[in-house]
Structure 1
Amino acid sequence: MSPQRQILPYFFQLSELCSNNVAEYQALIIGLQMAINMEITALEVYGDSKLIINQLLTEYEVRKDDLVPYFRLATQLLQKFEAVTLEHVPRKENQMADALTNLASSMTLGKDEATDVPVCQRWVIPLVNEMSLDDTNAISVLPVDAEEWRQPLIDYLEHGKLLDDLRRRSEIRRRAPRFLYYKGTLYRRSFE
């Protein structure tokens, strides 16, 4: 919403299932990226997720590993604004969010009227790995132990390579669907 109270509707759809907290972070990140692209310098963010607002205000610690990349990206994006305020608005008091959520079904337009609502299908997590928001380059080198439990999984996910030991082969095949190897990092899939 602009300072003149003009509402800029934007709809996006996540292409994969995720937790409510991940969806909230993704919505925030997309909104921040839009504000940066519009060259907005001062921003007021109202969110109904107490967890995420308080994590960004550093009142809460980010304890779930799957939220850390989103927290980091959101924090980097927030630093691009001259002035930012973050405020938690409980869901029951957030009529504007409810109205926007139900915009498609509640909008009444005349026969000859039309409105444009940009639609986007995206998933923010690849941006965390692809995007470098600062000018520093960091390289982290860790020696890999040949007996490290992750290496056979990485070899299988990246190259389809399996060990000679039949018991370990079946174990790797059984465990592999629970992991994702993306851009040099092994991620564990979770129910969230």
Structure 2
Amino acid sequence: MIKYLLLKMPPTPEPISSPNPTWKLFVDGSSTLIRSRAGLILISPEGFQVMQAIRFTFKSTNNQAEFEALIAGLNLARSLQVQHLSIFSDSQIMVRQTTGDYATKDITLTKYHALVKSLLAFFSTHTLVQVDREDNTMTDLLSKLIELEKDQLEGSVYFEELKIPAIEGQQIMEICIADVTWMTPIIDYLKEGILPKDPTEAKKLRSQAAKYFIEKDTLYKRTFDSPILKCIDPDEALYCMREVHEGI
């Protein structure tokens, strides 16, 4: 199945030499009485692919599943520091609501729409295009991979089980952001110039903060011999450790 997906590539991504190298994101979601699932494929300008299959343990409509797929893809692209993104989906409602061509009257979809708009703001440029289902074969097939058990999936497909809707998880995240973490003093200093009253602690913080910078409200650490590191809070660290040790 994975080999077939690789053969069903979309038009060749633009060369990396382009002034604005654009990533491509294909998303698809579906829901039945038995299961709800989603799939996404993120393709770099060089042609590198990240494929993800998602199963929902909660009930959702087709439209909600489409939004969940888009949100998962946007979060993935954001975590990889993508700046220019072209998004492709065969969901007319999801695309038209996001672009503003359709009004969003459903309360639940209104929440999804707001979350998507907030995530799109993190990208320098983006486009959202509706494609025919036959042109979105990759993600349609990927979403169906969720019917297999986790241990049956190929290693090149990342599996995720979503226990709550993204719109509920966003509310939880907003509460957590306000908590004080190890990053708080560094962020306060970089943003507002706030230092501890103790001169020794203030000197220590200035020296420490020189290794960090803030990009779009996210703290990163510079290193000499490795890539730039994204800083995370204790809850995110536990999540990462859990994901790694579960062997995803």
Classify the TM-score, shorter chain. Answer: 0.5 to 0.7
Distance 1:68 1:128, change over 3 A: farther
Q: Where does 1:121-132 land on structure 2 (aligned, <5 Å)?
A: 121-122=161-162, 123=164, 124-132=166-174
- Give the drift of 1:19: 0.2
**Alignment partner of 2:155 out of 115, 127, 130:** 115
Relative contact order higher in (CA < 8 Å, ≥ 6 apart): 1
Number of aligned residue pairs? 127
Larger radius of gyration: 1
Contact 1:70 1:128 in 2 (8 A): no
Q: Distance in 2 between matches of 1:127 and 1:104?
A: 21
Unaligned runs of 5+ in 1: 106-113, 136-192
* Equivalent position amino acid for 2:169 in 1: L
Q: Which residue in 2 is equivalent to 1:73?
A: 115
Listed one character per residue, the Cα deviations across residues 80-101 of structure 1 (whole Å, up to 9, x for unaligned) are 1001000001223322223433
* 2:61 pairs with 1:36: no
- Does structure 2 retain, via aligned residues, the 8 Å contact 1:69–1:128? no
Deviations 1:104-150 (A, max 9, x none): 79xxxxxxxx63322111231322322349x9xxxxxxxxxxxxxxx
Q: Which residue of 2 aligns with 1:27?
A: 69
TM normalised by structure 2 equals 0.47
TM-score, with structure 1 as normaliser = 0.59
User: Which structure is higher in strand share?
Assistant: 2
Task: Report Cα offsets for 1:57-105 as digits up to 9, x if no partner.
Answer: 1111101111111110000000110010000012233222234335579
2:97 maps to a residue whose letter is Q
**Distance (whole Å) between structure 2 residues aligned to residue 94 and residue 12 of structure 1:** 17
Consecutive unaligned residues in structure 2, runs of 5 or more: 1-42, 148-153, 178-248
**Between the two proteins, what is the percent identity of the paired residues?**
28
| Cα distance in 1, alignment partners of residues 120 and 140 from structure 2 | 25
CA offsets 1:28-77 (integer angstroms, 9 cap, x no match): 10110111111111111001111111111111110111111111000000
1:1-192 paired onto structure 2 within 5 Å: 1-102=43-144, 115-122=155-162, 123=164, 124-132=166-174
- Distance change in 2, residues 1:120/1:61 (3 Å): same
Tell me the secondary structure at the aligned position of residue 126 of structure 2: strand
CA distance in 2, matches of 1:22, 1:102: 17
Partner SS, residue 97 of structure 1: helix
Distance 1:32 1:38 in 2: 10
Q: Which amino acid aligns with 2:160?
A: C
